[in-house]
Amino acid sequence: MDRALLVGLDLGEYEMKQSMNELASLAETLEIQVIDQFVQKANLPNGRTYIGTGKVEEIKKAIEVLDIDIVIFNDELSPAQIRNLEKDLEVQIMDRSFLILQIFSKRAQTKEATLEVTLAQQRYMLPRLIGLSSSLSRQGGGSFNAKGAGETQLELDRRRIDANITQLERELDKIKKEKDTARKRRQNNEIPMVSLVGYTNVGKSATMNAILDYILKVTDKNVIEKNMLFATLSTFSRRIKPEKKPEFILTDTVGFVSRLPHDLVRSFESTLSEVKHADLILYVMDGSSSLAPMQIETTSSVLKTLEADQIPHLYVLTHKDMMFNDHVGYYHDIAISNKSYENIDRLVDLIYQKTYGKKIVVTLNVPYSEHGVLHHLENDTNILSKVYTDNGTEVLVELYEKQLKQFIAFYKKDITL
């Protein structure tokens, strides 16, 4: 197991302790052992080494004493900073972005996610080739200062990465087009699409499973839920069709983390396109965590980047079973438990209200020639009564406002007032 030191620069921009703890969890996700951490207060990062010269010296000593293999920085470093730090500290240097990219790369399971992570990694590497090639050449015993041969190699590497990026973009574009077609088909059918969105490890997948299990009594189609960062790296969509109600598509998505590498958000366009085209977004937060406000802020800012911040949404707090009292300080539309399933039915009701509108009761007159319609009504609405008349079946039904469009030809009168 690699032994690491964490280093953070406190510029007063965010809560440092919490951010360093998160960095430690990210490192542990990659099975890196965190031995110690250093935080320095500053007004500005040092252009050459990110942290100040004195701090570099202090860390160098710690590296020797503690037998450290890697130093991980809680920010994205410039290519020059990585290079200089590698030279000064003589161990592997990682920044926050690199760490997150590594986790995504290890976890990616679908072809789409694998392509996206690889693309993000290549985009991240391109401007940093000099630093990377320096550590490669050091491993090979050569000197990265050697001009000529080194530069040619660099140029070759750059061209190879450029070609890779083009190829990956092309493959992803193909997948995106296929998904666009599938989505258009669903949109034409007017099936609402609902996306679960939020910080990593807040309970998005668990909410999906709870809905599948509690409402549909389906357990074999569950998605993976785990107490770890980035358990989900692909979007999974499931059709939700309770008895006597219309259907909607529920999508579980990749979790966010604060300061997600820019390259990653850009590369996950295809996966996150699901979110961009949703009819309703469920902002999922862990109601038992003091980090909920920070998590929701991060989520909102990523959604803004995706231009998805104007989509109708609901704030959903999970872990209701772990909240110590009913007084919840965070703004929310509903608090649920994915363990006891408390309020899962109410969440589903809210989803219907937001996507299909309010419930109404109407009388429909269905001619006997329209065989399919009664069957459709039985499946998708709540039939209150049926009377067989000379002109056809007169049905009193309870349904959602937006469903009426499908049956408007048979509309007789509105009972709801």
102 binds, among ligand GTP, Mg ion, none (CB under 5 to 8 A by kind): none
Task: State which residue has the least CB distance to ligand GTP.
Answer: 255
188 binds, among ligand GTP, Mg ion, none (CB under 5 to 8 A by kind): none
What minimum distance in Å lies between the beta carbon of 286 and ligand GTP?
7
Residue 205 near Mg ion by CB under 5 A? yes
**DSSP H helix total and E strand total for the chain:** 14, 14
Q: Considering only residues 295 through 314, tell me which ones interact with ligand GTP, judged by CB under 6 A.
A: none
Count of alpha carbons within 13 angstroms of residue 56, beta-carbon side? 19
C-alpha gyration radius of the chain? 27
Binding mask 210-229 for ligand GTP (x = CB under 6 A): ---------------xxx-x
Residue 168 vs 240, nearer CB to Mg ion: 240
List all residues 6 or more positions away from 375 whose beta carbon is below 8 Å from its beta carbon: none
Among 195, 295, 338, 355, binds ligand GTP (CB under 6 A): 338
Total of chain residues touching ligand GTP, rule CB under 6 A? 23
Confirm if 100 and 260 have CB atoms less than 8 A apart. Answer: yes
Q: In angstroms, rounded to a whole number, what is the distance separating the alpha carbons of residues 255 and 245?
A: 30
Among 83, 123, 204, 259, which residue sits at the site for ligand GTP (rule: CB under 6 A)? 204
Site string for Mg ion, 220-249 (x = CB under 5 A): -----------xx-----------------
Residue 343 binding ligand GTP, by CB under 6 A: no
CB of 208 to ligand GTP, least distance (A): 8
User: How long is the chain?
Assistant: 417
How near is the Cβ of 319 to ligand GTP at its closest, in Å?
Answer: 4
332 binds, among ligand GTP, Mg ion, none (CB under 5 to 8 A by kind): none
Each residue 153-192 as x (binds ligand GTP by CB under 6 A) or -, in order, gives ----------------------------------------
Binding of residue 201 to Mg ion (CB under 5 A): no
Q: Which does 122 bind (CB under 5 to 8 A by kind): ligand GTP, Mg ion, none?
A: none
CA angle 160–162–167, rounded 5-degree value: 95
Interface size with Mg ion, residues (CB under 5 A): 4
Q: Residue from 322, 408, 409, 415 that binds ligand GTP (CB under 6 A)?
A: 322
Q: Are 256 and 200 in contact (CB under 8 A)?
A: yes
φ/ψ of 381, rounded to 5, equals -135, 175
| Smallest distance, ligand GTP to C-beta of residue 25, A | 11
- Residues paired with residue 236 on neighbouring β-strands, in sequence order: 252
What are the angstrom distances between the C-alpha of 323 and each of 22, 286, 335, 347? Answer: 22, 10, 10, 18
Q: Which does 387 bind (CB under 5 to 8 A by kind): Mg ion, ligand GTP, none?
A: none
Contact between 49 and 56 (Cβ < 8 Å):
yes
Q: Which amino acid is at 347?
A: L
115: nearest Cα among 74, 178, 166: 166
Nearest CA to 208 among 171, 270, 252? 252
Query: What is the distance between the alpha carbons of residues 257 and 236, in angstroms, rounded to a whole number?
Result: 19
Return the one option of Mg ion, ligand GTP, none that residue 20 interacts with (CB less than 5 to 8 A, by type).
Answer: none
- Burial class for 406, CB neighbours closer than 10 Å (0-12, 13-18, 19+): middle
Q: What are the residues binding ligand GTP (CB under 6 A)?
A: 198, 200-206, 225-227, 229-232, 255, 318-319, 321-322, 337-339
Q: What are the residues binding Mg ion (CB under 5 A)?
A: 204-205, 231-232
